Copies of this chain bind each other. A is one copy, B any other.
Amino acid sequence: MDAALYLIPVPLGDSAVDKVLPDYNLRVLREIKFFIVENIRSARRFLKKCDKNIGIDGIEFFTLDEHTRREDISGYLNPLLAGNAMGVISEAGCPAVADPGADIVAMAQSRGLKVVPLVGPSSILLSLMASGFNGQSFAFHGYLPVDSAKRVKKFHEMERDIASGQTQIFIETPYRNNRMITDICNTVRKSLRLCVACNLTCDDESVVTLTVDEWTRRKFDYNKRPAIFLLYY
């Protein structure tokens, strides 16, 4: 196997490994002895879930989370520089998309090292596919501002970009999901469509697209369930 930095996606929620990851990822995993991870305990759990016979004790982990300082990671790629394959594992979904892994990828790229992204579940892509919205032009904003005035301003910017044909995608802390939908209903034009995708790839997943007007008149409860939001005309 090539000496490269392999970016290894992790299932969302409790979905089975073979539901969301290609076999190839498992073959790659088994060969790697050096992993850069957000959380060692959950990374071990993921590796065991992929292959219960995997030899965890022979594996070296490097922690990269929001508390890791940029200068601490300068040595993380030494095993790769010495010719070993390395893996990056995030907490859920695809590494380096909306998580700290991007810093280590940028460092590998700046040193001319090979980076290999593996296929896996992304709530952004899965929700976009299932929304029925424009996939030829879209923007992902991460979390929206919490401050009311700033949030309203952001919604108005999104309405402007929707008018030019761009699907708008964003997330919220799960315990504020219901509040997010209410905020949208109170702010944007009633004729826009809102898609809420919840628990993607899990047994109780749902992807519901309705007009904002329909959401206003509908009962819903997404409290504390992982969800992603999409707006379009």
User: By DSSP majority rule, is chain A's interface helix, strand, loop, or mixed?
Assistant: mixed
Most chain B beta-carbon contacts within 10 A, residue among A115, A119, A125, A127: A119
What residues of chain A have their CB less than 8 Å away from a CB belonging to chain B? Answer: 7, 16, 18-24, 94-99, 102-103, 105-110, 115-117, 119-122, 124-142, 166, 195, 200-201, 205, 207-209
B115→A207 contact, CB < 8 A: yes
Most chain B beta-carbon contacts within 10 A, residue among A18, A19, A22, A205: A22
- Please name all residues of chain B whose beta carbon is closer than 8 Å to the beta carbon of A135 when the two chains form the complex: 94, 96-99, 102
A137→B136 contact, CB < 8 A: no
A128→B23 contact, CB < 8 A: no
Task: Give the shortest distance, in Å, between A15 (CB) and chain B (any CB).
Answer: 9
Given contacts A19-B24, A121-B119, contact A106 B133 (CB under 8 A): yes
- Please name all residues of chain B whose beta carbon is closer than 8 Å to the beta carbon of A139 when the two chains form the complex: 137-140, 166
Which residue in B22, B105, B126, B134 is a CB contact (below 8 Å) of A21?
B22
Given contacts A115-B207, A132-B106, contact A18 B24 (CB under 8 A): yes
A sample of 18 inter-chain contacts (CB < 8 A) reads A16-B24, A18-B22, A19-B22, A19-B23, A19-B119, A20-B22, A94-B125, A96-B130, A97-B129, A102-B134, A103-B132, A109-B131, A109-B195, A115-B132, A119-B120, A124-B125, A136-B140, A139-B166
Which residue in B16, B23, B109, B122 is a CB contact (below 8 Å) of A132?
B109
